[in-house]
Structure 1
Amino acid sequence: MTSNTIMRNRITSTWARAGSLLIAGLAMSLTSCKHQEADTVTPQSSTSTTENQTVDSWILDNMQTYYYWNDKIPANPDKTLAPSDFFDSLLNTYNATTNPEGDRFSWIEENASDLTSSLSGETKTTGMEFALYLRASGSTDVIAQVLYVLPNSPAANAGLKRGDIITKVNGQGITTTNYQSLLFDDSVTNYTFGLGTVSNQSIVDSGVTKSVTTTVFQANPVYLDSIYTVGTKKIGYLVYNQFVPAPNGSKGSEYDDQVDAIFAQFKSAGINELVLDLRYNPGGYTSSSANLASLIGKGVDDSKLYFRESWNSTLTPVLQKQYGSDFFLQKFSTKAQNIGSNLSRLYVLTTDRTASASELIINGLRPYMTVNTIGTTTYGKNVGSITITDDTGKINWGMQPIVFRSYNSLGQSDYSTGFTPTTEVEEPITLYPLGDVRDALLNEALYQIAGTAASGRHAATTVRNPLPVLGSSIQQKAKGGLMVKDMKISHL
């Protein structure tokens, strides 16, 4: 940055309670009104045919009512199947060639409380998120690169940081055949990570290790906010990693209030440009997405439409009769902290981990202002799910089926393959801290805003990451992405 640049960084301390929220497509908290009269069914690794039929009947009943593609459910599904297999047999399965608009996102869990806890922000975690790459092109060896570490988490306390490269887990080299068991096994609580370094774009073992014990942890989605001043440009920057209104167990809006407070500071400081960093945000609650959009949008208030939902033809008239047409509409809020009048455009930083409620921000604001995206193509989730559990407590399963599709105020919903970036910038193998002006995506945004490179050169000249991508822990926990609509439907 130039000498007249002022940077203020604040990494928000996380709640030391529980969980990192599982977020990403439009999900609604839904207590099922389909009551079962059988005895409580406890999930087991091996269940009887009778138990399967009880659970499967409950699954089918709810899917026939709520599933977005309920007209494609098989006429006579096999109720002797294990519940997870039965659930899968009902889906309108996605196929890139034959069914590109099919279902990529619905899933079921054996324990409903685990499902709802994860959606509310409770998970057992080391406190870091990472990307997975092949160690070299054509190799079966895998590395995990740390994308960010939650403050005060076990990973942070062990000294792990963004950019660290993990080559071994508990003494074993990571490969394409064992990375799932080494990195995503919930029964493992103690990890010793062997680290590597980058040498001439290759990964070399360093011999350094870090030991971490998992814990139940609450991740604050408001990760970092900054203000950069470059000449006449005063640039607000927010790293926001999940759309979550409040910590698990709270019925308040603590995290939304925190975002409001940041925008109040932005407004007071007179920022006239905004960079919203959603590169690691797989989505979350639509209420929090609407809250953030209401703080940014130009000329928006509670009379303006943020997005609307379309449900299946069976349920739509029922919902309309019971709740009215407003059920399908998400309006903006009128916010005193809104900075839209000072903005001519918005910059959003994206990767393929940017999904659902994050993509809703891009799609929902584009009718009201110019939205430029910098990074790589987003995930592509324009549909939403609800959480279905049995409120009698007799069935312990929980499921998350897709139930609606979202459209912005112009009727646009054409991003099932993701939003292609306005400016493509890959994250290189060498990562700088989030908020550092040398970070490739932020650097490019500052260059486009100020017209000069913040660190002497801008991201278009940076070296691309040469390693083939396998995925990330963010996509693993988010099942691809969630948008969560926080409400209950009863007695339909």
Structure 2
Amino acid sequence: MNKIISLLMSLAAIVILTACPKVQDVEDIPYEEAKTFIHEELKYLYYWNDEIPDKVDYRNPVEIENFYNSLLVTKDHWSWMQEGKEYISDEMGVSYGTFGASLSQAIKYHNDYDVKVRYVIPNSPFDKAGVTRGWTITHIDGQSKDDLVNSGKITTIFNNSNPSDVHEFVFLDTEGKQQVRNIQSAAVLNMRPALIATIFDGSSYQGLDERVGYFNYLGFKAGNDAFGKPMIDDIKENMQMFKSAGIKKLILDLRYNGGGDSRASDTLVNYLAPKSAIGKTYVTRTHNQDLSKENESFQIKRIIDKSGNDLSLDLDALYIITGPGSASASEMVLNGLMPLMKVEQVGDTTYGKPNGMYVVYYPASKQDYEQYNHNNFAGLEYVFLPIAFYNKNGLGENIPDDGIKPGLGARPDDIYHDFGPQEDNISACLYHIINGKYPQLPQPSRFMFTKSNSSRNANLEPENRDKHYGKFYDVENHFIINNLDN
């Protein structure tokens, strides 16, 4: 009897075991949660969201950045993403292993292949060594400029220099005199967006019978720097300085400003726009149909804020210097102000970026965003910047894809002189203030005394060719969008 019971129990166990399906190993998909999140976000706020598929393979591409890029439409060459730490460093103006200078060449107009210092960041290694805009680099560590450019080594030295290394630079200064400097790059350099804020008068430019403000602004930033000081104060403090000085004519230099945070651009416009513009539209945004239908407030109209105009400079004349480096938010400021006041555009054609992004932080719970809004980014892993809207001014005019072209004020960038009344673009503005017309264009041979027999095939890669160049983004409104259903 016991044998029969044992046999029956064994048979039952076999039946139970064979009846249970085999448990399959669950495939671990790299970055699955982040991939799912950004896929859903793009389906909601991406300007071309109707072209985002409902279902995607989260396994491929494997890396998060490649996966994100695979979702973008072909015509979108603006959207991008960053790791959290990289984004925060950029927003705080922190740069590593740098000399604090930007380089350029005057090829387009002057056919000059010399490598010039375009601008120098205050308190940077170049600044402390006495190097200024307009200086020419002829050699670094005994290597000629041509060899450095053709090999790409000059880019490595300036963008990824080891702070422990000291490099020997041979320059020609703006007078054509050779200058040799041994310069060590900064391990960390904290950069503010305002490069120069000054006032010109008759003592600095002959014939000028009133004070003229000059503001050279490199990027629209509204967060805090590494020391906790708001970046937006660079606008507020300098505009208030101009107002206290009674400035009624201002030269705003945006030729190297690639855009940035809408909070900063809105603040600047509120200072620049005349009191007559109060209540008028500065910019409208066109979103995808789904976002517009869900909440009409995101067909945003940036109205000139009345409280901001209590501090308006109420200018008689505004000159905006532009160039191929003037992108996105810079173009929006120019395009937005033109219907509201007389704006003289001086310099070269702008970059041509008619759209903007919402900043998408990940992780992105309501609690996460509360931390981000209090400048606590310890948990930030990724930042996505998808194109979400196109900008128009109050007259419904777009920013042209090929940039905003100056009229009679068109002239080349003068990288042969430091910023000041002797620099051609600034001088042209001051000349126009006095005479009501622009001076003749500089002759290409005018600056040839600084040339150093450069090879005509040694071309620097312009900064504005970087795929990440040209930013106009909104942080505040994406917080609202991201939490509509929370």
TM-score by length of 1: 0.74
Determine whether 1:107 maps to 2:93. no
Q: Structure 1 residues 439, 103: closer, same or farther in 2, change over 3 A? A: same
* Seq. identity, %: 25
The answer to whether the 8 A contact 1:348-1:373 is kept is: yes
| Aligned positions of 1:298-313 closer than 5 A | 298-300=274-276, 303-313=279-289
**Among 289, 292, 297, which residue is 2:265 paired with?**
289
Residue aligned with 2:65, SS: helix
Q: Tell me what 2:395 maps to.
A: 410
**Among 213, 219, 226, which residue is 1:236 paired with?**
213
Q: Tell me what 1:437 maps to.
A: 421
| Aligned positions of 1:217-256 closer than 5 A | 217-229=189-201, 230-248=207-225, 254-256=230-232
Q: Tell me what 2:68 maps to.
A: 87
Determine whether 1:424 maps to 2:405. no
| Aligned positions of 1:37-186 closer than 5 A | 50-73=29-52, 77-79=56-58, 80-81=60-61, 82-93=63-74, 102-109=75-82, 111-124=83-96, 126=98, 128-133=100-105, 144-168=115-139, 173-179=147-153, 182-183=156-157, 186=160
Distance 1:119 1:180 in 2: 25
| Aligned positions of 1:201-216 closer than 5 A | 208-216=180-188
How far apart are residue 441 of structure 1 and its match? 0.5
Q: Which amino acid aligns with 1:160?
A: V
Q: Which has a greater percent of strand?
A: 1
Q: Structure 1 residues 198, 158: closer, same or farther in 2, change over 3 A? A: closer
RCO greater where, 1 or 2, for CA within 8 Å and sep 6 or more? Answer: 1
Determine whether 1:447 maps to 2:431. yes
Q: Which amino acid aligns with 1:425?
A: R
Q: Structure 1 residues 192, 285: closer, same or farther in 2, change over 3 A? A: same
Distance 2:93 2:174 in 1: 38
Q: Which amino acid aligns with 1:296?
A: L
The answer to whether the 8 A contact 2:208-2:430 is kept is: no
How far apart are residue 273 of structure 1 and its match? 2.1
Residue aligned with 2:413, SS: coil
Q: Tell me what 2:15 maps to.
A: none
How far apart are residue 214 of structure 1 and its match? 2.7
Distance 2:426 2:295 in 1: 43
Distance 1:89 1:49 in 2: 20
Determine whether 1:339 maps to 2:331. no
User: Could you report, residue by residue, the CA deviation over 1:128-178 in whole angstroms, capped at 9, with x for unpaired residues?
Assistant: 2423449999x9x98642211121123322333212233555555323452
Residue aligned with 2:361, SS: strand
Residue aligned with 1:315, SS: helix
Unmatched 5+ residue regions in structure 2? Answer: 1-26, 202-206, 369-378, 449-455
How far apart are residue 299 of structure 1 and its match? 3.1
Q: Which amino acid aligns with 1:298?
A: P
Q: Which amino acid aligns with 1:481?
A: G
How far apart are residue 297 of structure 1 and its match? 1.3
How well do the aligned residues superpose, as a CA RMSD in angstroms? 3.7
The answer to whether the 8 A contact 1:130-1:472 is kept is: no
Distance 2:250 2:71 in 1: 44
Q: Which amino acid aligns with 1:182?
A: T
Distance 1:135 1:406 in 2: 32
How far apart are residue 195 of structure 1 and its match? 3.0
**Among 473, 483, 486, which residue is 1:484 paired with?**
473
How far apart are residue 232 of structure 1 and its match? 4.0
Distance 1:240 1:292 in 2: 11
Q: Structure 1 residues 314, 470: closer, same or farther in 2, change over 3 A? A: farther
How far apart are residue 231 of structure 1 and its match? 4.5
Q: Structure 1 residues 171, 220: closer, same or farther in 2, change over 3 A? A: same
Unmatched 5+ residue regions in structure 1? Answer: 1-47, 94-101
Q: Which amino acid aligns with 1:234?
A: R
How far apart are residue 402 of structure 1 and its match? 1.2
What is the number of residues matched between the two proteins? 418
Q: Structure 1 residues 174, 77: closer, same or farther in 2, change over 3 A? A: farther
Q: Structure 1 residues 471, 362: closer, same or farther in 2, change over 3 A? A: farther
Q: Which amino acid aligns with 1:164?
A: W
The answer to whether the 8 A contact 2:98-2:158 is kept is: no
Q: Which amino acid aligns with 1:159?
A: G
Q: Tell me what 2:24 maps to.
A: none
Distance 1:314 1:161 in 2: 51
Q: Tell me what 1:20 maps to.
A: none
Distance 1:411 1:287 in 2: 21
**Among 247, 251, 255, which residue is 1:275 paired with?**
251
Q: Tell me what 1:370 maps to.
A: 342
Distance 2:100 2:184 in 1: 11
| Aligned positions of 1:450-465 closer than 5 A | 450-451=434-435, 458=439, 460-463=441-444
Distance 1:251 1:301 in 2: 33
The answer to whether the 8 A contact 2:258-2:470 is kept is: yes
Q: Tell me what 1:197 maps to.
A: 172
How far apart are residue 353 of structure 1 and its match? 0.8
Distance 1:395 1:437 in 2: 45
Distance 1:386 1:143 in 2: 39
How far apart are residue 376 of structure 1 and its match? 0.8
Residue aligned with 1:314, SS: helix
Residue aligned with 1:104, SS: coil
How far apart are residue 419 of structure 1 and its match? 0.8
Residue aligned with 1:50, SS: coil
How far apart are residue 473 of structure 1 and its match? 4.2
